A and B are shown apart, each in its own frame.
Chain A
Amino acid sequence: MSSERFKKEILPLRQQLFHLSRKMLGSEQDAEDAVQESLLKLWRVRDTLKSYDNPGALATTVTKNTCLDKIRLRKQNYTIDEYIKIGDKDDPQLQLERKDTNKLIEMIIQTLPPLQQQIIRMKDVEGYETEEIAEITGTTVEAVRTNLSRARKRVREGYLRIVRGSE
């Protein structure tokens, strides 16, 4: 069973992966986010783990890449405020997009920090329970709840600002 393999071969590496992330990112909070995101990514591909001689090497690679993405993203941070500014211009295409609530929500979710995006997807789309997500990311149920709560509140705020702000 691939979830067994994940728990036996990947989760125990959490500590190492955290240290690696901290070296690359410089902050404990960022490192913690990076580790959780990496674990979620590895969870997604857990079916392929058995074909790796050294799943630890895979975990390291995934974590390194996650950290590199974070470093790159630090430079460009597309926020909701910028989207609102852009939308105020007379662009009919954008005006139309504002009416498509699905696209709007999707866009807002994409402005969330990657970890929050992943967690909200796992909970709200894929239907994982909080306890399961906590297990996979090696954190507490409380930590997952906090991220989930922040993510959901931001989506709501973002949506209301765009929809009502334009009136």
Chain B
Amino acid sequence: MKILKRNIISLQEAEKLIEKYYEGETTVAEEHLLRKYLSGKNVPAQFEAEKAIFGYFAGEKEKQNVRITPNTLKWVVSIASAAAAVVLFLGIFLNTQYSTTSYAYVDGKKVTDKNEIRALAQITLENIAGTDEVENGLKNIESGQTIEGQLNVFKELEF
């Protein structure tokens, strides 16, 4: 998968993912990638319906995240110092969307949105997990040996 600046997936990849989407087989991370792609500027006309659908769901998601649960408020209010309450509240709210200890960098630009980070990790793991061609013809790798060939996966390793 080629990673180009901010546009994480290509048209072909988008097509594949959209097909998967309609089969109900995409993961939350993959759907996040699609959402980013479809909310971009030059979305091909063939994806008109998908752009509308993902746009709608993105809007609904926004409405969800802004809601503050009663439990959070109770806990926050019970803290004595008003300043502390504000800082802690921000910390909790930000932590539901943004992580303070997890992050990613794409082309040197920092990413703190949890969903994006997860999606990037997913792609990275997939580099190791192999491609379609390799799926059909895996050999077992014996411990301590080196093997010539075009193998580039670790699936089905004999441990």
Residues of A at the B interface (CB closer than 8 Å) are 101-102, 104-106, 121, 123-130, 144-149, 152-153, 155-156, 159-160, 163
Q: Known: A101-B56, A102-B55, A126-B64. Contact between A145 and B49, CB under 8 A?
A: no
The answer on a CB contact under 8 Å between A156 and B22 is yes
Q: Give the number of A-B contacts (CB < 8 Å).
A: 58
Judge whether B52 and A101 touch: CB under 8 Å: yes
- Asked whether, in the complex, the Cβ of B31 is within 8 Å of the Cβ of A124, the reply is yes
Is B50 on the interface with A (CB-CB < 8 A)?
A: yes
Give the interface SS of chain A, mostly helix, strand, loop or mixed. Answer: helix
Secondary structure class of chain B's binding surface, majority of residues: helix
> Are B49 and A156 in contact, CB atoms less than 8 angstroms apart?
yes
| Contact between chains at A159 and B22 (CB < 8 Å) | no
Task: Name the A residues within 8 Å of B60 (CB-CB).
Answer: 121, 124-125
Name the B residues within 8 Å of A104 (CB-CB): 52
Task: Give chain A residues whose Cβ lies under 8 Å from the Cβ of B131.
Answer: none
Q: How many residues of B contact A (CB 8 A)?
A: 21
Are B56 and A106 in contact, with the CB atoms below 8 A? yes
Partner of B24, one of A101, A152, A155: A152
**CB-defined contacts of B15 to chain A, threshold 8 Å:** none
Contacts of A163 in B (CB 8 A): 48-49
Check if A145 sits within 8 Å of B55, measured CB to CB.
Answer: no
- B49, A160: Cβ atoms closer than 8 Å: yes
- Distance of A50 Cα from B50 Cα, bound (Å): 41
A125-B61 contact in complex given A156-B50, A159-B53, C-beta closer than 8 Å: yes
B81 smallest CB distance to A (angstroms): 29
User: Judging by beta carbons under 8 Å apart, are B57 and A125 in contact?
Assistant: yes
Chain B 52-87 per-residue mask, 1 if CB under 8 angstroms from chain A, else 0: 110111011100100000000000000000000000
Q: Does B28 contact A (CB under 8 A)?
A: yes
Q: Is B27 an interface residue (CB 8 A)?
A: yes
* B56 touching A145, Cβ below 8 Å: no
Q: B53, A155: Cβ atoms under 8 Å?
A: yes
